[in-house]
């Protein structure tokens, strides 16, 4: 019997979800400063959830000129099969108490006294954050990337998705910093060699354009 | 055929491994493809001075003192220390707010605060790039079967001793080819008295006869 292409499509998505679980495992077991739990990793594999986050990313792109590239991020992330978001939970309220001065406050006591940035739409992360703590997220993300490479899964890291998920309150309380990683099981990586104007010209916008052009003719033929 | 003995093999293998780790760190993922890291690998002499420095911080930081004592043990067997560093200012123009300033421009203009450990304020994404590279190096060391651990204390010491120069934020990866993994389960560095004291402080109720008893 010939196997259907639809079956392949279903299996492909299943494999992406399975890979996401293994990637989560690797990200979770990567090093943490002082061996203290800090990061959580969340998986969004429902296309509707991913779409919600992408819409928020697009919304953020309109807020600020610096964030215009978020539009392209959103278009790329729509092509991802699974979106994973790593968070840093301690960097806002629980500095590492080692007086490392990476935040520029000299000692952690001064950091605790420092007022946080206001809850403003133009601010992605309400710093100052304990950078020493937040650095854990880079270990988590690299653990995830390393596993994705091992498994031969395409991936892309986008901070826009993390910031949008934080804004949508999808992440745990006290999340101070978050990064998104899209993973994809497709023949061509949707994260590499993507045109600069991908937000305007992609499969979805092209479909829309074709439908818009052809629809009046269809309507007249079939009515 | 020439015979090469194990110590020679290990020494050469270790050298090749750190070279590969440097390549892995150099080729790791970067935000905005910004590759501005400074990566050095140091030998026994520098490690000795780092160990002395860390040990001398005993009163200020027991953790640094422990790592100093550990480093003295570590350098008796084949080992290397890779130090990675980067500048603190933000070239990203993301204006994300994580550093506590509304814009990258504000952060870059802010007064530089120098200290023994790092110069702040520093850009969060610079830190991410640095630490992703560190993790990539550590990950390769792990795969190559080396004993490996990431240390901030040793890197801070290297910064204040000016072993690595022209950088503001640092981190380090220590690798070793010792007979036993020297990085974890280091019980010899904490005495029984220390644990007893910590236990008494943390769980004062444990030794009480009954609830409400006065010690």
Residue A129 sits at the chain B interface (C-beta within 8 Å): yes
Q: Tell if the CB–CB gap between B118 and A129 is shorter than 8 Å.
A: no
B152 part of a folded domain: yes
Query: How is residue B95 written in tokens?
Result: 């204006």
Considering only CB atoms, B131 lies closest to which of A98, A135, A163, namely A135
Residue B148: the pLDDT is 94
Residue A128: the pLDDT is 94
Question: What's the whole-number average pLDDT of chain B?
Answer: 91
What are the chain B neighbours of A33 within 8 Å (beta carbons)? 152
B61 part of a folded domain: yes
CATH number of A5-192: 3.40.109.10
B4 part of a folded domain: no
Total tally of structural domains belonging to chain B: 1
Q: How far is B12 from chain A (nearest CA, A)?
A: 26
B31 part of a folded domain: yes
Q: Tell if the CB–CB gap between B138 and A31 is shorter than 8 Å.
A: yes
Q: How confident is the model at residue B212 (pLDDT cuts 50, 70, 90)?
A: low
| pLDDT above 90 for B191 | no
Residue A222: the pLDDT is 75
Which residues of chain A are under the pLDDT cut of 70? 223
| pLDDT above 60 for B205 | yes
B106 part of a folded domain: no
Interval B66-103: pLDDT, tens: 899 899 999 999 999 999 999 999 999 999 999 999 99
Q: Tell if the CB–CB gap between A146 and B136 is shorter than 8 Å.
A: yes
| pLDDT above 80 for B209 | no
Residue A177: the pLDDT is 96
Question: What's the whole-number average pLDDT of chain A?
Answer: 94
Q: Nearest CA to A47 among A86, A10, A83, A8?
A: A83
| pLDDT above 90 for B187 | no
What are the chain A neighbours of B94 within 8 Å (beta carbons)? 66-67, 124, 159
Q: Tell if the CB–CB gap between B98 and A142 is shorter than 8 Å.
A: no
B130: domain CATH number is 3.40.109.10
* Long-range contacts (CB closer than 8 Å, 24 or more residues apart) made by B61-69: B61/A98, B61/B153, B63/A98, B63/B153, B64/B153, B64/B156, B64/B157, B66/B186, B66/B189, B66/B190, B67/B151, B67/B153, B67/B154, B68/B153, B68/B157, B69/B189
Residue A149 sits at the chain B interface (C-beta within 8 Å): no
Residue B200: the pLDDT is 83
Residue B213: the pLDDT is 55
Residue A162 sits at the chain B interface (C-beta within 8 Å): no
Considering only CB atoms, A114 lies closest to which of B100, B114, B127, namely B100
Residue A216: the pLDDT is 83
| pLDDT above 60 for B214 | no
B94 part of a folded domain: no
Chain B contact residues (CB < 8 Å to A) = 28-29, 31, 61, 63, 93-102, 110, 112-115, 117-122, 124-125, 127-132, 134-136, 138-139, 150, 152, 156, 169, 171
B22 part of a folded domain: yes
Q: Tell if the CB–CB gap between B124 and A129 is shorter than 8 Å.
A: yes
B176 part of a folded domain: yes
Residue A223: the pLDDT is 67
Considering only CB atoms, A103 lies closest to which of B93, B120, B125, namely B120
Q: Tell if the CB–CB gap between B131 and A106 is shorter than 8 Å.
A: no
Rounded to whole angstroms, how far apart are CA atoms B206 and A83? Answer: 46
Residue A22: the pLDDT is 97
User: Which of 36-95 (A) contact B at CB < 8 A?
Assistant: 64, 66-67
Q: Tell if the CB–CB gap between A127 and B152 is shorter than 8 Å.
A: no
What are the chain A neighbours of B136 within 8 Å (beta carbons)? 142, 146
Interval B9-38: pLDDT, tens: 999 999 999 999 999 999 999 999 999 999
- Locate the domains of chain A by residue range: 5-192, 197-223
| pLDDT above 60 for B185 | yes
Interval A5-32: pLDDT, tens: 999 999 999 999 999 999 999 999 999 9
Interval B168-177: pLDDT, tens: 999 999 999 9
Rounded to whole angstroms, how far apart are CA atoms B209 and B215? Answer: 9
Q: Which domain does B148 fall in, by range?
A: 14-88+116-204
% of chain B residues with pLDDT over 70: 95
Rounded to whole angstroms, how far apart are CA atoms B36 and A182? Answer: 25
């Amino acid at each position: 019997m010939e196997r259907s292409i639809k079956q392949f499509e279903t299996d492909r998505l299943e494999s992406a979800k399975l890979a996401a679980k293994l990637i989560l495992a690797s990200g979770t077991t990567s090093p943490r400063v002082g061996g203290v739990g800090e990061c959580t990793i969340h998986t969004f594999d429902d296309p509707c959830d991913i779409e919600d986050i992408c819409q928020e990313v697009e919304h953020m792109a309109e807020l600020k000129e610096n964030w215009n590239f978020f539009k392209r991020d959103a278009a790329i992330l729509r092509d991802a099969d699974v979106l994973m978001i790593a968070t840093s939970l301690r960097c806002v309220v629980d500095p590492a108490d080692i007086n490392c001065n990476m935040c520029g406050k000299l000692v952690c006591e001064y950091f605790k006294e420092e007022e946080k940035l206001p809850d403003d739409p133009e601010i992605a992360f309400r710093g100052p954050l304990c950078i020493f703590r937040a650095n854990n997220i880079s270990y988590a993300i690299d653990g995830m990337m390393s596993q994705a490479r091992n498994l031969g899964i395409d991936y892309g890291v986008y901070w826009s998705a993390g910031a949008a998920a934080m804004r949508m309150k999808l992440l745990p309380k006290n999340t101070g910093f978050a990064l998104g990683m899209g993973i994809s099981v497709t023949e061509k990586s949707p994260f590499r060699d993507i045109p600069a104007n991908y937000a305007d010209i992609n499969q979805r916008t092209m479909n829309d354009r074709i439908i818009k052009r052809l629809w009046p003719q269809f309507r007249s033929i079939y009515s | 055929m020439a015979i090469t003995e194990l110590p020679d093999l290990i020494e050469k293998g270790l050298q090749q491994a750190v070279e590969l780790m440097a390549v892995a760190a150099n080729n790791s993922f970067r935000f905005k493809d910004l590759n501005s890291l400074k990566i050095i690998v140091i030998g026994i002499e520098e490690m000795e001075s780092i160990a002395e420095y860390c040990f001398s911080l005993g009163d200020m930081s027991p953790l640094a003192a422990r790592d100093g004592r550990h480093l003295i043990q570590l350098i008796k067997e084949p080992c290397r220390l890779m130090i990675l560093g980067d500048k603190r200012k933000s070239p990203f123009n993301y204006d994300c707010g994580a550093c506590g300033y509304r814009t990258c421009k504000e952060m870059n203009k802010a007064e530089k605060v120098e200290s023994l450990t790092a110069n702040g304020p520093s850009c969060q994404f610079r830190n991410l790039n640095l630490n992703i590279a560190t993790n990539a190096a550590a990950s390769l060391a792990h795969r190559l079967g080396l004993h490996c651990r990431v240390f901030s204390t040793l890197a801070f010491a290297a910064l204040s001793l000016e072993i690595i120069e022209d950088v503001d934020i640092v981190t380090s990866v220590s690798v070793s080819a010792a007979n036993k993994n020297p990085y974890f389960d280091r019980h010899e560095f904490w005495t029984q008295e220390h644990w007893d004291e910590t236990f008494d402080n943390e769980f004062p109720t444990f030794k009480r006869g009954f609830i409400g008893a006065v010690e």
